[in-house]
Homo-oligomer: A and B are copies of this chain.
């Protein structure tokens, strides 16, 4: 399998490219609308064609490129069936993997960051979305987030995978790229080292995080599989403007 980890720097999001060497088909996990051109360039340079985009959840910090890629390269859209988005072509459910060439994406329902959140297992890799980050996890204070549910998703479902399973998160804010289930069990300060549900709930209840600055645009946009608002405040335009495009000149 061809594998690339692509960073979208505005929201520090990772997009993952999986390519089938036999059929030339590719899957993009969590593509971001403002990095479409860069992603397509990478895909074309590898001689691949996107068959599916697959989102882990309805993101609150960026807009998915799913719809725009469907328009531009006719890729199909996969996302958790739980969210019942009418724009989705393939609803991911547990027990119903997505097959693209030789690539099998097995969905694991991992609610807590959002109620419909899915992680995807592909061979030795688990794409954990915002359920499990390196030394951290997604917040649980909006979009039907729920600390108790996230604790169960991570400690019962993700931590049950073999220790060597590679953890590829949807974000990292300090330049880390990869971890493993064993590593997160051993040292995740929120969920590892045998943290109890009560300890985790206390940590999540006292994070005092600011209201996400793009959420009021991102969530409705992502419920449409990636619709950028027609107007955005100047300081938020970077979330929809193609990466590298300048407003000068």
A interface list, Cβ under 8 A from B: 3-5, 124, 163-164, 166, 174-180, 182-183, 186-187
A248 to chain B, nearest CB (A): 27
Instruction: Choose from B164, B178, B186 the contact partner of A179 (Cβ within 8 Å).
Output: B178
CA distance A182 to B4 in the complex (A): 11
Give every chain B residue within 8 A of A166 (Cβ-Cβ). 166, 178
A contact face: mostly helix, strand, loop, or mixed: mixed
Nearest B residue (CB) for A17: B164
Nearest B residue (CB) for A3: B164
A42 to chain B, nearest CB (A): 12
CA distance A163 to B4 in the complex (A): 8
Instruction: Choose from B175, B182, B183, B187 the contact partner of A186 (Cβ within 8 Å).
Output: B175
Nearest B residue (CB) for A4: B164
Nearest B residue (CB) for A184: B177
A178/B180 contact (C-beta < 8 A), A124-B3, A166-B166 known: yes
Nearest B residue (CB) for A163: B5
A182/B177 contact (C-beta < 8 A), A124-B3, A164-B3 known: yes
A67 to chain B, nearest CB (A): 27
Nearest B residue (CB) for A182: B177
CA distance A236 to B182 in the complex (A): 28
Give every chain B residue within 8 A of A179 (Cβ-Cβ). 176-178
CA distance A175 to B163 in the complex (A): 13
Whether A183 pairs with B177 at a CB distance below 8 angstroms is yes
Whether B177 pairs with A5 at a CB distance below 8 angstroms is no
CA distance A235 to B187 in the complex (A): 28
CA distance A164 to B179 in the complex (A): 12
A13 to chain B, nearest CB (A): 15
CA distance A182 to B3 in the complex (A): 13
Give every chain B residue within 8 A of A174 (Cβ-Cβ). 187
CA distance A3 to B124 in the complex (A): 10
Give every chain B residue within 8 A of A186 (Cβ-Cβ). 175, 177
Give every chain B residue within 8 A of A180 (Cβ-Cβ). 5, 177-178
